[in-house]
Protein backbone atom coordinates (compact mmCIF):
# COMPACT_ATOMS: atom_id res chain seq x y z
CA UNK A 1 0.00 0.00 0.00
CA UNK A 2 1.27 3.41 -0.92
CA UNK A 3 1.57 6.21 1.60
CA UNK A 4 1.96 9.74 0.30
CA UNK A 5 3.33 12.78 2.14
CA UNK A 6 3.25 16.28 0.67
CA UNK A 7 5.60 19.11 1.54
CA UNK A 8 6.70 22.48 0.22
CA UNK A 9 3.61 24.54 0.78
CA UNK A 10 3.67 27.99 2.31
CA UNK A 11 2.87 31.65 1.90
CA UNK A 12 4.05 33.42 -1.23
CA UNK A 13 3.28 36.70 -2.95
CA UNK A 14 1.46 36.81 -6.28
CA UNK A 15 3.91 36.18 -9.09
CA UNK A 16 6.12 34.03 -6.91
CA UNK A 17 6.99 30.35 -7.08
CA UNK A 18 6.78 27.25 -4.93
CA UNK A 19 7.78 23.65 -5.46
CA UNK A 20 5.65 20.98 -3.88
CA UNK A 21 6.91 17.47 -3.25
CA UNK A 22 4.98 14.24 -2.90
CA UNK A 23 7.07 11.54 -1.26
CA UNK A 24 5.81 7.98 -1.43
CA UNK A 25 6.60 4.91 0.59
CA UNK A 26 6.07 1.51 -0.91
CA UNK A 27 7.95 -0.65 -3.32
CA UNK A 28 5.59 -0.12 -6.25
CA UNK A 29 5.66 3.67 -6.48
CA UNK A 30 7.19 3.66 -9.93
CA UNK A 31 4.16 1.76 -11.26
CA UNK A 32 1.67 4.42 -10.26
CA UNK A 33 0.27 7.50 -11.92
CA UNK A 34 0.53 10.45 -9.55
CA UNK A 35 -1.91 13.31 -9.63
CA UNK A 36 -2.08 16.65 -7.86
CA UNK A 37 -5.40 18.06 -6.74
CA UNK A 38 -6.34 21.17 -4.83
CA UNK A 39 -9.24 22.35 -2.75
CA UNK A 40 -9.91 25.96 -1.87
CA UNK A 41 -12.19 26.93 1.05
CA UNK A 42 -15.82 26.46 0.14
CA UNK A 43 -15.00 24.85 -3.19
CA UNK A 44 -14.85 21.33 -4.53
CA UNK A 45 -11.58 19.52 -5.00
CA UNK A 46 -10.20 20.04 -8.50
CA UNK A 47 -7.63 18.37 -10.67
CA UNK A 48 -4.33 20.19 -11.19
CA UNK A 49 -1.89 17.85 -12.95
CA UNK A 50 -0.95 14.21 -13.39
CA UNK A 51 2.09 12.28 -14.55
CA UNK A 52 2.46 8.75 -15.87
CA UNK A 53 4.55 6.12 -14.13
CA UNK A 54 7.42 6.69 -16.56
CA UNK A 55 7.15 10.45 -16.56
CA UNK A 56 6.69 10.50 -20.32
CA UNK A 57 3.09 11.65 -20.21
CA UNK A 58 1.58 14.54 -18.32
CA UNK A 59 -1.78 16.24 -18.12
CA UNK A 60 -2.70 19.67 -16.76
CA UNK A 61 -5.80 21.61 -15.91
CA UNK A 62 -6.29 24.55 -18.25
CA UNK A 63 -6.04 26.95 -15.32
CA UNK A 64 -2.41 25.98 -14.63
CA UNK A 65 -1.05 25.20 -18.10
CA UNK A 66 2.12 27.13 -18.80
CA UNK A 67 2.60 27.98 -15.11
CA UNK A 68 2.85 24.61 -13.34
CA UNK A 69 5.12 21.69 -14.20
CA UNK A 70 4.80 18.17 -12.84
CA UNK A 71 7.79 15.83 -12.77
CA UNK A 72 8.93 12.71 -10.97
CA UNK A 73 12.08 11.00 -9.77
CA UNK A 74 11.32 7.32 -9.31
CA UNK A 75 14.73 6.70 -7.75
CA UNK A 76 13.67 9.01 -4.93
CA UNK A 77 10.01 7.93 -4.90
CA UNK A 78 9.05 11.57 -5.30
CA UNK A 79 6.84 13.63 -7.57
CA UNK A 80 7.22 17.39 -7.82
CA UNK A 81 4.88 20.22 -8.74
CA UNK A 82 6.74 23.36 -9.73
CA UNK A 83 4.37 26.30 -9.50
CA UNK A 84 5.37 29.58 -11.10
CA UNK A 85 3.55 32.87 -11.62
CA UNK A 86 1.29 32.07 -8.72
CA UNK A 87 -2.00 33.90 -8.36
CA UNK A 88 -4.28 34.42 -5.36
CA UNK A 89 -6.78 32.02 -6.98
CA UNK A 90 -4.18 29.26 -6.61
CA UNK A 91 -4.63 29.42 -2.84
CA UNK A 92 -5.74 25.97 -1.69
CA UNK A 93 -4.75 22.78 0.06
CA UNK A 94 -2.78 20.73 -2.44
CA UNK A 95 -2.90 16.93 -2.24
CA UNK A 96 -1.16 14.26 -4.24
CA UNK A 97 -2.82 10.96 -5.09
CA UNK A 98 -1.85 7.69 -6.74
CA UNK A 99 -3.58 5.30 -9.11
CA UNK A 100 -2.43 2.47 -11.36
CA UNK A 101 -2.18 2.41 -15.13
CA UNK A 102 -3.36 5.48 -17.04
CA UNK A 103 -3.68 9.20 -16.42
CA UNK A 104 -6.97 10.41 -15.01
CA UNK A 105 -8.48 13.71 -13.92
CA UNK A 106 -11.27 12.44 -11.70
CA UNK A 107 -10.45 12.25 -8.01
CA UNK A 108 -12.64 9.15 -7.77
CA UNK A 109 -10.17 7.19 -9.89
CA UNK A 110 -7.33 7.63 -7.40
CA UNK A 111 -6.75 5.05 -4.70
CA UNK A 112 -4.23 6.61 -2.33
CA UNK A 113 -4.10 10.13 -0.98
CA UNK A 114 -1.78 12.29 1.05
CA UNK A 115 -2.89 14.68 3.78
CA UNK A 116 -2.16 17.82 1.81
CA UNK A 117 -0.08 20.95 2.11
CA UNK A 118 -1.40 24.51 2.31
CA UNK A 119 -0.48 27.00 -0.39
CA UNK A 120 -1.44 30.63 0.20
CA UNK A 121 -0.83 33.30 -2.41
CA UNK A 122 -1.16 36.88 -1.25
CA UNK A 123 -2.05 39.75 -3.58
Mean pLDDT of the chain: 95
Is 8's pLDDT higher than 90? yes
What pLDDT, in 10s, does the model give residues 66-75?
A: 999 999 999 9
What mean pLDDT is predicted for residues 94-102?
94
The C-alpha atoms of residue 95 and residue 114 are separated, in whole angstroms, by 6
Q: How far apart are CA 40 and CA 23, in angstroms?
A: 22
3-state secondary structure of 45: coil
| Res. 83 pLDDT band, cuts 50 70 90 | very high
pLDDT at 12: 98
Strands 3-7 and 18-25, by their bridges, are: antiparallel
Q: Give me the count of residues in the chain.
A: 123
pLDDT tens for 15-62 read: 999 999 999 987 777 789 999 999 999 999 999 999 999 999 999 999
Residue 97 has a pLDDT of 97
Structure confidence at residue 31 (pLDDT): 86
Distances (CA, A) of 8 to 5, 55, 112: 10, 21, 19
Amino acid sequence: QEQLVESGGGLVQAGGSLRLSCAASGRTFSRYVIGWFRQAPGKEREFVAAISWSGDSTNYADSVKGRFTISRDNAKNTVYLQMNSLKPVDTAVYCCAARPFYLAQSEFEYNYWGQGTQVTVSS
